[in-house]
């Protein structure tokens, strides 16, 4: 097939005229930093999620970091999260000076296990960061209840889940704030780095706006220590185009996922689960298989790309082993790292392509 496992270039080809017009609009405006395109995108993305505030920043990692910074974390504070995530989740926590406390994930959807969360709470817990992994909503009704009873704020890592919902409510809007990434391969991707923080908390939104640009309310006057984390005007204009097509693209991803569900039925593997009341937007279609490496090699020989999200859990990576979780401490997470394989999925592939991939996977595992 010689097709990419994800395909951000497909977005460009599908909407090239709209993208070109958006870029030209920015070039002609003479405003390239925090201008009208960023303001408009913030309003449109906030409306999409039904929240009053969205703040565009330079990346998804900095979105999470700035949201956590708004809690004024310091050394000795603990933030509970999962190890089964992109490294960026933990990097953002460590950058605040706080200590990540890793909990295991549920065996079905590989998102934060609420029972593990309850057991990890301590007098030093200052935040909880659930991750909506692969486009699947975490168990936010349970997590939010536990957090509320403990009096601990939730900052959601929704970098992979633009449009996913739990109990009818968009992910990213359950906690004190939600952090989104607009990396090109995301469901809502730009053509470079970008991110956003969303919140219903006006005070937090104000603090994030100050922190993203040197603590300025008045130009050149820092009210507080801040940073440079601004969403570019060109990226905002491109994201406005992509946002208009996001629901249709998520529906296309779901059709691909349904095709995989059908063609993989009966194969010796585990497909992504579906839940009543919790939706997924299929950022990745991740199967689990005890013959993962053999399967990946077979698919590669047929020109079918795959990926492993993720080969090494964060708590076992050299940079983060100092946080006290050794091998064997998170059994579901560690077993998953040996089994997961992300199949080809993007909104611009065809159902026929998905059928070919699904049938090849099934044939390989039946042999």
> 17-35 b/e with 16+ CB inside 10 Å = b?
ebbeebbeebeeeeeeebb
Q: Does residue 213 form part of some domain?
A: yes
pLDDT tens for 74-122 read 999 999 999 999 999 999 999 999 999 999 999 999 999 999 999 999 9
Name, in order, each residue with C-beta under 8 angstroms of 18's C-beta and a sequence gap of 6 or more: 241, 244
**φ and ψ at residue 228, rounded to 5 degrees:** -110, 100
* pLDDT at 2 (0 to 100): 63
Q: Does residue 180 form part of some domain?
A: yes
Strand order in the sheet with 99-103: 99-103, 78-82, 125-128
Strands 195-199 and 177-181: antiparallel
**Does residue 167 share a domain with residue 259?**
no
User: Is the Cβ–Cβ distance between 89 and 60 less than 8 Å?
Assistant: no
Give the CATH number, domain containing residue 285.
Answer: 3.90.1150.10
Q: Is 272 helix (H, G, I), strand (E, B) or coil?
A: coil
Domain boundary among 216, 240, 264: 240
Q: Does residue 77 form part of some domain?
A: yes
Domain boundary among 211, 240, 269: 240
Name, in order, each residue with C-beta under 8 angstroms of 21's C-beta and a sequence gap of 6 or more: none
Name, in order, each residue with C-beta under 8 angstroms of 237's C-beta and a sequence gap of 6 or more: 22, 23, 25, 26, 37, 41
Taking the C-alpha atoms of residue 106 and residue 217, their distance in angstroms, rounded to an integer, is: 43
Taking the C-alpha atoms of residue 215 and residue 1, their distance in angstroms, rounded to an integer, is: 50
User: Residue 231's pLDDT band (boundaries 50, 70, 90)?
Assistant: very high
pLDDT tens for 209-228 read 999 999 999 999 999 999 99
Taking the C-alpha atoms of residue 81 and residue 173, their distance in angstroms, rounded to an integer, is: 17
Domain boundary among 207, 240, 273: 240
pLDDT tens for 313-334 read 999 999 999 997 889 999 999 9
Q: Does residue 3 form part of some domain?
A: no
* pLDDT at 324 (0 to 100): 79
Q: Is the pTM of this model over 0.85?
A: yes
Q: Does residue 210 form part of some domain?
A: yes
Q: Does residue 314 form part of some domain?
A: yes
- Residue 367 clears pLDDT 80, i.e. is over it: no
Taking the C-alpha atoms of residue 125 and residue 130, their distance in angstroms, rounded to an integer, is: 14
Q: Does residue 57 form part of some domain?
A: yes
**Does residue 308 share a domain with residue 274?**
yes
Give the CATH number, domain containing residue 85.
Answer: 3.40.640.10
User: Residue 5's pLDDT band (boundaries 50, 70, 90)?
Assistant: confident
Domain count, the chain: 2
- DSSP type of residue 137: P
Strands 285-288 and 340-343: antiparallel
**Does residue 257 share a domain with residue 231?**
no
pLDDT tens for 178-205 read 999 999 999 999 999 999 999 999 999 9
**Does residue 172 share a domain with residue 58?**
yes
**Does residue 77 share a domain with residue 20?**
yes
pLDDT tens for 135-173 read 999 999 999 999 999 999 999 999 999 999 999 999 999
**Does residue 330 share a domain with residue 187?**
no
Q: Choose between 367 and 228: higher pLDDT.
A: 228
**Does residue 288 share a domain with residue 229?**
no
The C-alpha torsion from 293 through 294 and 296 to 301, rounded to 10°, is: 140
Structure tokens at 355: 């059928």
Neighbours of 48 (CB within 10 A): 17
pLDDT tens for 19-76 read 999 999 999 999 999 999 999 999 999 999 999 999 999 999 999 999 999 999 999 9
Taking the C-alpha atoms of residue 272 and residue 257, their distance in angstroms, rounded to an integer, is: 9
**Does residue 303 share a domain with residue 212?**
no
- Residue 258 clears pLDDT 80, i.e. is over it: yes
**Does residue 264 share a domain with residue 336?**
yes
Mean pLDDT to the nearest integer, 279-295: 97
User: Residue 1's pLDDT band (boundaries 50, 70, 90)?
Assistant: low
**Does residue 198 share a domain with residue 127?**
yes
User: Is the Cβ–Cβ distance between 32 and 25 less than 8 Å?
Assistant: no
**Does residue 170 share a domain with residue 79?**
yes
- DSSP type of residue 273: P
Q: Does residue 317 form part of some domain?
A: yes
**Does residue 49 share a domain with residue 88?**
yes
The range of the structural domain enclosing residue 34 comes to 8-103+111-240
pLDDT tens for 298-314 read 999 999 999 999 999 99
| Cis peptide bond upstream of 39, omega within 30 | no
DSSP E strand stretches across the chain: 53-57, 78-82, 99-103, 125-128, 155-157, 165-166, 169-170, 177-181, 195-199, 216-218, 221-222, 285-288, 340-343
């Amino acid at each position: 097939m010689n097709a990419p496992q994800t395909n951000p270039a497909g977005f460009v080809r599908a909407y090239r005229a709209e993208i070109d017009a958006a870029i030209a609009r920015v070039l002609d405006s003479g405003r390239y930093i925090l201008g009208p395109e960023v303001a408009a995108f913030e309003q449109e993305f906030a409306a999409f999620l039904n929240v009053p505030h969205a703040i565009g920043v330079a990346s998804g990692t900095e979105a999470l970091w700035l949201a956590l910074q708004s809690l004024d974390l310091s050394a000795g504070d603990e933030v509970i999260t999962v190890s089964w995530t992109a490294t960026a989740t933990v990097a953002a926590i460590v950058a605040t000076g706080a200590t990540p406390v890793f909990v295991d994930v549920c065996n079905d959807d590989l998102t934060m296990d609420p029972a593990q969360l309850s057991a990890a709470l301590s007098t030093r817990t200052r935040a909880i960061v659930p991750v909506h992994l692969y486009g699947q909503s975490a168990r936010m009704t349970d997590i939010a209840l536990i957090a509320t009873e403990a009096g601990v704020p939730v900052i959601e890592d929704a970098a992979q889940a633009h449009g996913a919902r739990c109990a009818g409510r968009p992910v990213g809007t359950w906690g004190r704030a939600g952090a989104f990434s607009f990396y090109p391969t995301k469901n809502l991707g730009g053509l470079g780095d970008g991110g956003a923080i969303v919140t219903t908390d006006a005070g937090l939104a104000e603090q994030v706006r100050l922190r993203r640009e040197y603590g300025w309310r008045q130009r050149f006057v820092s009210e507080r220590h801040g940073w440079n984390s601004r969403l570019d005007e060109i990226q905002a204009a491109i994201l406005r185009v992509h946002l208009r097509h996001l629901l249709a693209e998520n529906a296309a991803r779901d059709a691909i996922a349904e095709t995989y569900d059908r063609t993989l039925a009966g194969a010796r593997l585990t497909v992504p689960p579906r839940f009543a009341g919790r939706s997924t937007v299929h950022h990745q279609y991740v199967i689990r298989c005890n013959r993962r490496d053999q399967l990946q090699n077979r698919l590669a020989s047929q020109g079918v790309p795959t990926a492993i999200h993720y080969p090494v859990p964060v708590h076992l990576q050299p940079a983060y082993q100092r946080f006290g979780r050794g091998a064997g401490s998170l059994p579901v997470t560690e077993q998953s790292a040996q089994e997961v394989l992300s199949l080809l999925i993007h909104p611009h592939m065809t159902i026929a392509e998905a059928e070919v991939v699904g049938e090849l996977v099934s044939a390989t595992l039946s042999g």
